[in-house]
Structure 1
Amino acid sequence: MASAFLALSAWQVMLAGLLFFGGIYLVFGAATWLLTRNILPALGLGRTLDPRPLAPGQLRRELAQSGISVLLFGTGMIFPWGLLQLGWARLAMDASATRIVLEILFLLAWNDVHFWVNHRLLHTRLLRRFHLPHHRSIVTTPFSTYSFHPIEALMLGNVILLPMVLHDFSFWSLLSVPLFSLFFNCIGHANYDFFPRVSYAHWFAASRRHHLHHACYHGNYGFQFTFMDRLFRTRLAADAAARQLQAHEARAQSDARARSDARA
């Protein structure tokens, strides 16, 4: 597979990248939507985090913005391919299974560091206008995952370039990055608590933490893990959005009483 990738032309690399990123976005997004909207609620497993309705036209906007991100991520495959063609990076062609596992674990940690740094920058006064399109999704969906401004997509999409010039990774280790990144991102944006019994600090509570980031805007800048938010003291309290959700519930109950009185 690595040899086949290196043998592709520039146009073939970009086309393959478009098909790859578009495919995994649609498959992971649709699967997470189905799981959290139908299957898990029917089985009584987990719970919805934010009961407020989606904004009008939200799904259409998310899909449109995600299409631009897919275009950038897909055609952006030319950059790691170019590093390999220029000899600035190399692939480990005969990496052992143990080496691949260790590389994937390193890339998991690096992805969290890279995401936190870029995400924190996107919340600064200088760059926040490029992050606001993503935050229009206050109540998130799996399709919010790639719903970025192009500048944000470029900032988050370069995660493997620096590691590639510092170490000869296996092709499979590098391929794992967009797969686990999108998988965890879909979980984080699913607006669903898959493991209600685990603590707020647990790795499996990432969807809870990212739900709070969208509900409160500031804080919880990390990706799947908590070590960067702990280190820089940017982790939100578990009840940070309680006031907004309680206000929504009070309005919903008031509206229900008003409709009941009108029928009476």
Structure 2
Amino acid sequence: MTAAQVFSDLSAWQVMAWGLVFFSALYLIGGLGMTALTRFLLKRGIGRVLDTRPLKPDQLRREWRQSFHSILVFGLGMVVPWGFVQLGWAHFAIAPSGWQIAIEIWVLLIWNDVHFWINHRLLHTRWFKRFHGDHHRSVVVTPWSTYSFHPIEAMMLGNVILLPMVLHDFAFWSLASVPVFSIFLNAVGHANYDFFPHVGPRHPLAASRRHHLHHARPAGNYGFALAFMDRLMRSEADPLPPRAAPGRPAA
């Protein structure tokens, strides 16, 4: 029996239970893994911390509490794509090849950035910004900021696979890869660490620097891991002047 068949045969309660386990594991692995990685690199003089200011006293507790709510939204929300399959609105690809899965993951990676830019830009409008303020309370970001959302924001960002599912019969593992690469790239973006200081700001390897700038100067850099949507929509954030750059002492 394939993974797609197993998923389809689960009950709604089982889908939600496994969803909670899945997203809890992703959050813990992402947070602990990225924290360990940046400490390892810092000790060896590779890369640099972007903002050296201390965290607010209650920041980590707040991020964990808000992330717990997001995990509930993401985990329980797994019943929605499961419901699409049960209703016949979406189907999984039958016996997909490795090349098909690889191409689908690449397409979903690009779509993830488009979807994120659209929803993130909405979250910075006057109608939705009250739901995004919780996330921006983390000015000095941490890997634990990745799921630190208001539940409304979590629902907006968490529906990324629904439209692709009804437009194309994706492989089960292609769809399952979305939350996996999403948590990894999200943890990179919130690592407060410049892994590749010598690359330009539009380079794919400068994602952490771009998102760090968004938290420091929210009017711009609405993209996720890549820079193409901000370039296309002309929404790149202006760089901080040297005297105002977090983590850099004033002259």
TM-score where L is the length of structure 2: 0.96
Distance 1:101 1:240, change over 3 A: same
Please state if 1:3 is matched with 2:5.
yes
Cα offset, 1:247, TM superposition:
8.9
Residue 37 of structure 2 is aligned to residue 35 of structure 1: yes
Contact 2:113 2:226 in 1 (8 A): yes
Corresponding residue of 1:126: 127
> Partner letter of residue 236 of structure 2?
R
Structure 1 residue 145: deviation in Å?
Answer: 0.4
* Corresponding residue for residue 28 of structure 2: 26
Match of 1:170 in 2: 171
Aligned to 1:242: 242
Distance 1:120 1:240 in 2: 20
CA displacement 1:11-37 (0-9 Å, x = unmatched):
00000000000001001111101111x
Report Cα offsets for 1:192-228 as digits up to 9, x if no partner: 0011121111000000000000011210000011111
* Distance in 2 separating the partners of 1:247 and 1:10: 48
Deviation at 1:241, TM superposition (A): 5.7
- Alpha-carbon distance between aligned partners in 2 of 1:21 and 1:241, rounded to the nearest angstrom: 38
Runs of at least 5 residues in structure 1 that lack an aligned partner in the other structure: 254-264
1:230 CA drift (Å): 0.5
| 8 Å contact from structure 1 (residues 192, 208) kept in 2 | yes
- Paired with 2:247 and 2:64, the residues of 1 have a C-alpha distance of 29
The alpha carbon displacement at 1:106 in A equals 0.5
Letter in 1 for 2:91: R
**Percent identity for Structure 1 against Structure 2:** 61
Q: Name the CA distance, whole Å, in 2 between partners of 1:119 and 1:199.
A: 23
8 Å contact from structure 2 (residues 20, 76) kept in 1: yes
What is the aligned length? 249
**Against the structure 1 CA distance between its residues 4 and 145, is the aligned structure 2 distance closer, same or farther, given a 3 Å change threshold?**
same
Cα 1:241/1:184, change in 2 over 3 Å: farther
Task: State the secondary structure of the residue aligned to 2:117.
Answer: helix
Contact map agreement 1:189 1:207 (CA 8 A) in 2: yes
Amino acid at match of 1:12: Q
In structure 2, C-alpha distance between the alignment counterparts of 1:97 and 1:226, rounded to whole Å: 28
Alignment check: 8 A CA contact 1:216 1:241 kept: no
Distance in 2, Cα, partners of 1:34 & 1:186? 12
CA RMSD of aligned residues (A): 1.3
Counterpart residue identity of residue 67, structure 2 = S
Segments of 4+ moved more than 3 angstroms: none
| Bigger proportion of residues as helix | 1
Could you tell me how far 1:183 is from its partner in structure 2?
A: 0.4
Tell me which residue corresponds to 1:194.
195
Structure index of larger Rg: 1
> Matches of 2:64 and 2:246 in 1, distance apart?
30
| TM-aligned CA deviation for residue 246 of structure 1 | 6.6
The residue identity in structure 2 corresponding to 1:16 is: W
* Counterpart secondary structure, 2:184: helix
Q: Is the 8 A contact 2:123 2:131 kept in 1?
A: yes
Quote how far apart the aligned CAs of 1:92 are: 0.5
Give the structure 1 partner of residue 219 of structure 2. 218
Aligned to 2:94: 93
Quote the Cα distance in structure 1 between the aligned partners of 2:49 and 2:118.
29
Per-residue Cα deviation, 1:156-182 (whole angstroms, up to 9, x for no partner): 000000000000000000000000011
Superposition pairs for residues 132-147 of structure 1, below 5 Å?
Answer: 132-147=133-148
